[in-house]
A and B are shown apart, each in its own frame.
Chain A
Amino acid sequence: MANEQPPKKHIPTEKKIKRVSIAAAVLVMYIWTFMSIDIDWKEAFNRFASNYNVVVPQLFSPNWARAGEVIEKMIETVFIAYVGSLAAAILAVPLGFLAAINMTNNRFLSTVGKWILSAVRAFPEIILAIMFVVVVGPNPFAGILAIAIGSTGMLGKLYAEVLESIDMNVVEAMQANGANKIQIMFHGIIPQVIPEFLSYAIYRFEIDVRASTILGYVGAGGIGTMIFFAYSNRNWSDMGMILLVIIVVVTLIDYGSTYIRKRIV
């Protein structure tokens, strides 16, 4: 079979350079990572071997005696999440309006608004919780504040996106008809965005429940405090119970929230 080889593939030089440099950058990153990370594998393996039997079997046999306590704390956790995300859902509305280009008609204001929201988003809730514990003391209030501020960032950004995608024809029609800003907002804009706002608020609530579970670790209330104690006392059986309750509650809330969100939108 005297067949000829196909012609070589011609890749434009620019693309070649791009590819090579990306590959090089990734390679450098990996070399840097694996050379710098200082892990004593032998030690790690030993610890694993010795700790495994202490931790894992206990983890899988949860301490039912404390179930009541754990559930109570979990309820507190859910409420922290609830109040916090509710406050955020409300606070984020004016912020969302500020950040949406088609609402303020001011490019500068909208960009600034978006930057502020992004900045707030960058803070993990638990770090906010640390700050608030410093200010208001170690109680659930700090946790609520942390969740509220943390969620406002993400919700504000999502709200702004929703607002930017509504049908402006409705607004125009109302303006042409002589309605003032407030009337336009309540009769024209709000009805269009409420389902989506609610949907995002509920979605954020799901995330906040997960986040609230650990706020107690730094003293901001909720089941996190129990986690802290179980860990300090190496009480893995308690930890197993906590884990079980968390899994069950979060799963239930996820299902409920997905169900409600489907009905809304």
Chain B
Amino acid sequence: MIEFNDVSLVYPNGHQGLKDVNVTIEDGEFVVIVGLSGAGKSTFIRSINRLVTPTAGELKVGGDNILDYKSKGLRDLRTKVGMIFQSYNLVKRNSVFRNVLAGRLGHTGTLRSVFNLFSKDDKALAYESLKRVNIDDKIYSRADQLSGGQQQRVSIARVLTQKPDYILADEPVASLDPPTSHQVMKYLRKVNKEDNITTIVNLHFIDMAMEYADRIIGMRSGEVVFDGPVSEVSEATFEEIYGRSIREDDLRGGAKDGEQDQ
């Protein structure tokens, strides 16, 4: 369970990233954060694994306040929280398999990992993760030989290999075309349902938000301006969150059932 209690974050340059955020996310929820650029979505997500550090308030993940954590605590926290990025963040020259195994780094001793000595269980887990996102046939290809959608799926496989309790996704589909975007979101939902992993996703496409989320949190200028189940949401809600009317590029479009890419 994740609890934000009066969390605020002021950046060193004075900009207010988060303001008095009070949110509780139960285990297993699929939450989508929406808002314009700079609204605080990224700051919100990155606070959960302490890639950024809130300057006030209390942030509890799994019952403990993570704001006090030092290096060992941080490492343990981050092994429990998997993250997917907009630019996939794979090591391009490494093989898919090696990239996915990197998900076990937090669990493996330094010396063994440097010499690439992962346990059999780890390797089996990595293979299993690849199969779950249907990309096991590319297991030994170099990461940069794959398309964007495939790379993002490898990212998901890497996160799965971590066996996390939470999955964060920071604009996971912004660089992908519509059909591929839907495919990736489908995988995220599938993992969320099958493994009951709490999933928090940043999106700025409102149609995708409405399609995939259980719950939607809207942010503006660092504050939470909407927090409720997707059933209560309509386009009008978004206009309130954004503070302006909906535009063409706020919508993703694309086929509802994503085409298979190569």
Which residues of A are at the interface with B, using a C-beta cutoff of 8 A? 1, 3-7, 9-10
Contact = CB atoms under 8 A, between A and B. Distances in A.
25 contacts: A1-B121, A1-B124, A1-B125, A3-B121, A3-B124, A3-B125, A3-B127, A3-B128, A4-B124, A4-B127, A4-B128, A5-B120, A5-B123, A5-B124, A5-B127, A6-B97, A6-B123, A6-B124, A6-B126, A6-B127, A6-B130, A6-B136, A7-B139, A9-B140, A10-B140
Interface of B: 97, 120-121, 123-128, 130, 136, 139-140
A6 B100 CA distance: 12
Interface class of chain B by DSSP: helix
B140 to A, nearest CB: 5
Contacts of A5: 120, 123-124, 127
Contacts of A9: 140
A9 B123 CA distance: 13
Contacts of B124: 1, 3-6
Contacts of B123: 5-6
Given A3-B127, A4-B127, A9-B140, 11 more contacts: A1-B121, A3-B121, A3-B124, A3-B125, A3-B128, A4-B128, A5-B124, A6-B124, A6-B126, A6-B130, A7-B139
Nearest to A9: B140
A27 B185 CA distance: 50
Nearest to A10: B140
Contacts of A7: 139
A16 to B, nearest CB: 14
A235 B81 CA distance: 64
Nearest to A8: B140
* In the complex, the 8 A-B pairs of residues with the closest C-beta atoms, listed nearest first: A3-B124, A6-B127, A3-B128, A9-B140, A5-B124, A6-B139, A6-B123, A5-B123
A110 B120 CA distance: 59
A7 to B, nearest CB: 7
Nearest to A6: B127
Nearest to B137: A7
A253 B93 CA distance: 39
A9 B128 CA distance: 16
Q: Which of A1, A3, A4, A6 has the most CB atoms of chain B within a 10 A radius of its CB?
A: A6
Contacts of B140: 9-10
A6 B157 CA distance: 14
